[in-house]
Amino acid sequence: MSQPELVFLSSGPDGMAELVVNFGVYSGREATPAEVERLALQLLEDVNAVEIVCEQRYEFTAEAEATVYRVRVAMPGAGHRAAELRDTVAAWAEDCIDERYVAP
């Protein structure tokens, strides 16, 4: 079974494009507030505003259960640039993972 992409483009609740980071799959943990702030500062070099949501999602079946940590990044007024900023978000995620990985 292959692992999901680290960062992918998705349609947010408002229909605007957003970037989703499968943070926990690769890091084994949630993103810290300092890491989220670092991402925001990096993105604000290219856009006027950014919204970052860190979520802890639970998935259950009769055979298994999982906790998924994701980071969702929306750029109000600049959603059309989400694909262009994917590399910035991916580089941030890779740096965070390299700095601190928590084994399952």
Return all residues near 14 (Cβ < 8 A) that are at least 6 apart.
74
Q: Judge whether 1 lies within some domain.
A: no
Q: Judge whether 104 lies within some domain.
A: no
Which CATH number does the domain housing residue 67 bear?
3.30.70
pLDDT at 1 over 70: no
CB atoms within 10 A of CB 6: 18
pTM given for the model: 0.87
In the block, tokens 């990985």 appear at: 101
* The pLDDT value given to residue 41: 98
Please name the amino acid found at residue 99. Answer: E
Q: Judge whether 73 lies within some domain.
A: yes
Number of domains making up the chain: 1
Distance CA 58, CA 80 (A): 30
* The pLDDT value given to residue 76: 87
Q: Judge whether 68 lies within some domain.
A: yes
Distance CA 21, CA 73 (A): 8
Domain that holds residue 41: 7-99
